[in-house]
Each structure stands twice: as structure tokens, then as C-alpha cells.
């Protein structure tokens, strides 16, 4: 009975942080890690890879639990989010905040075992990913802050290996920023009425649904261009371009299934298509590096 109760509690926390959504940033972090292996003098270090994955795990837990804590009053009012763990009283707000702080400390501690640069930059990363939770109160560009937070993954993983900045991971991070911002605009469409009523800011609130979708398309077009530049600059081969092609097709498809007057398939576009797109792109890219 005790074991079952503890497993239920763990499941509640994993649900709160949407652990399954790790598929958005993790593949790009792994791509950034193996991209760094192409640099002279750097070889596979599986312990370092383990630390990078731990950092991703702790950072995401901290960011999502803080977001749920910060948005708890809005989530309670919104019918779509009222079933989340805090408004549904499955997890207490103070427990969610403690969980966030614990994961933030573990994140910083883990960066110490990677290198000093990552350790010194870890508070900056936390400032971005935690600060995002308040942005809808004062700026319409919250989607871009979310994109910035996830875009830290490939550059952070690259820094973990090399300890220095370089253009390839920066290009990849810029692509992730545009990709995430674009699909988060689509996701925000389903809450634009609620956001207007509660004076929360978003691109759909500011521009309207139709123009928000156009901006999302433009952001995803920039994503495609940046990933194309990355492939050309690094002289990647057939496997990379296979993953790139699949990624772009799935990126484009979500704009065919989501319309300003028909949001029934937003979740398919947000989770399924983008999740598989990131996994396939990174998998083919990493395979191209290793083979």
C-alpha cells in the first residue's frame, strides 16, 4: 500500500511537470552534445552525457513546477486547466514550489560537475526558464521567452563538451527559438478568449487568430532556413537532410490542420507533430554525425 501511494505521488509530480513534453528540448540538447563531438580534441564522454541529461531533467522540473505554482490562480479559473494538479488540489502550492527549488538546486549542483562556465551560467538559465512564467502579465512576447528558454538546450549541451561558444549551436538554438515560439503561438489560440478576459497578454490576443497564425508560419519558415544553413555550414550528409525534410514536412502539416476558426486539432499539432518532428530530426542528425 505504501509503495503504491508513493508511486502515485511520483506520478502526480511527473504529470504536473508534463514529463512527456521533454521530447521538445531533449532531442536538440542531444544533437548539440554530439555536434560538439565533431570538434577536434573532443571524444564521447558518456558520464558527461549523463550530466547533461540530468541538467535537462532538473531544469525542466524546476521550470514547469514554478509555472504551475505561478499560474495556479489563473489555472483555477480556466476550464481547460482547472484539472491541473494544483487547482485540482492534488498537489499543494507550497509543495510545488519546494519541488521547484529542490530541482533548481540540483540543476546548479550538476553543472558544477560539467565545467565552470556552465556552472557560472546556470543562474542565468534559471532566470530565463523561471522568469517566463510571469511574462504573460506584461508582454505579448511571452512565446519568445519560452522559445529562448528551450533554445538554451543545444548551446548548453555544446558548452558542456567544449567549454566555448561556436556558431553551429547558436544557429541551432536560434532555430529552436523560432520553432518553439511558432508552435506556442498555435497552442495559445485555445486560450485567447480567457486571456482577454483576464488581461493576460499573448500574440493571439494582440494580433487576432488569423494574423497570429501567419506569424507562426513566418517563424517556422525562419526555422527551416536556419536549419538549412546549419546543414550547409557543417557539410552534413544524407541522413541529416532526411531528418530535415521530415521535420519541415511535419512543421508545415500542422499549419494545414489548425485554422483560426477550427482549433480542434491544436493538441495534435502542439504535441504529436512537434514531438515526433524533434525526435526524428535530432535522431537523423546524430546518426549522421556518428556514422
- The predicted-structure confidence for 63-91, as pLDDT tens digits, reads as follows 999 999 999 999 999 999 999 999 999 99
Mean residue pLDDT of the chain comes to 92
In CATH terms, the superfamily for domain 2-290 is UbiA prenyltransferase (1.10.357.140)
pLDDT at 2 over 60: no
Residues with Cβ < 8 Å from 3, sequence gap 6 or more?
none
State residue 1's pLDDT score.
Answer: 62
Return the H-helix or E-strand segment holding 69. Answer: helix 46-70
77-86, 124-133, 263-272 — which is least confidently predicted?
263-272
Ramachandran angles phi, psi of 259, nearest 5°:
-120, 155
Using only C-alpha atoms, the chain has a radius of gyration, in whole angstroms, of 19
39 sits in the region (left: phi over 0; alpha: psi -120 to 50; else beta) called: beta
Query: Greater confidence, 265 or 225?
Result: 225
- Residue recorded with cell 494544483: 86
State residue 43's pLDDT score.
Answer: 66
* 287: nearest Cα among 26, 25, 35: 35
pTM of the model: 0.94
Listed by start position, the domains of the chain span 2-290
CA distance 28 to 32: 6
pLDDT tens digits for range 183-199: 999 999 999 999 999 99
pLDDT at 20 over 80: no
* Mean pLDDT (whole number) for 129-150: 96
Amino acid at each position: 500500500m505504501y509503495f503504491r501511494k508513493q508511486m502515485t505521488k511520483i506520478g502526480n509530480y511527473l504529470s504536473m511537470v508534463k514529463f512527456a513534453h521533454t521530447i521538445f528540448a531533449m532531442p536538440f540538447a542531444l544533437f548539440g552534445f554530439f555536434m560538439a563531438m565533431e570538434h577536434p580534441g573532443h571524444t564521447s564522454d558518456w558520464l558527461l552525457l549523463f550530466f547533461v541529461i540530468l541538467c535537462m531533467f532538473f531544469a525542466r522540473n524546476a521550470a514547469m513546477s514554478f509555472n504551475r505554482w505561478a499560474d495556479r490562480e489563473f489555472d483555477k479559473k480556466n476550464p481547460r486547466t482547472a484539472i491541473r494538479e494544483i487547482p485540482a488540489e492534488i498537489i499543494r502550492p507550497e509543495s510545488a514550489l519546494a519541488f521547484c527549488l529542490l530541482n533548481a538546486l540540483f540543476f546548479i549542483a550538476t553543472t558544477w560537475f560539467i565545467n565552470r562556465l556552465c556552472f557560472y551560467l546556470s543562474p542565468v538559465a534559471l532566470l530565463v526558464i523561471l522568469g517566463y512564467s510571469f511574462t504573460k502579465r506584461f508582454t505579448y512576447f511571452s512565446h519568445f521567452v519560452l522559445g529562448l528558454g528551450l533554445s538554451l538546450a543545444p548551446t548548453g549541451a555544446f558548452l558542456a563538451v567544449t567549454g566555448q561558444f561556436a556558431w553551429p549551436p547558436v544557429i541551432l538554438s536560434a532555430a529552436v527559438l523560432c520553432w518553439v515560439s511558432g508552435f506556442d503561438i498555435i497552442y495559445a489560440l485555445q486560450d485567447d478568449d480567457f486571456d482577454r478576459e483576464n488581461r493576460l497578454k499573448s500574440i493571439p490576443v494582440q494580433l487576432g487568430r488569423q494574423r497570429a497564425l501567419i506569424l507562426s508560419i513566418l517563424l517556422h519558415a525562419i526555422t527551416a532556413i536556419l536549419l538549412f544553413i546549419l546543414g550547409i555550414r557543417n557539410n552534413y550528409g544524407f541522413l541529416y537532410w532526411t531528418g530535415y525534410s521530415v521535420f519541415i514536412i511535419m512543421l508545415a502539416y500542422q499549419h494545414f490542420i489548425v485554422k483560426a476558426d477550427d482549433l480542434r486539432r491544436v493538441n495534435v499539432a502542439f504535441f504529436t507533430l512537434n514531438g515526433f518532428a524533434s525526435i526524428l530530426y535530432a535522431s537523423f542528425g546524430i546518426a549522421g554525425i556518428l556514422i
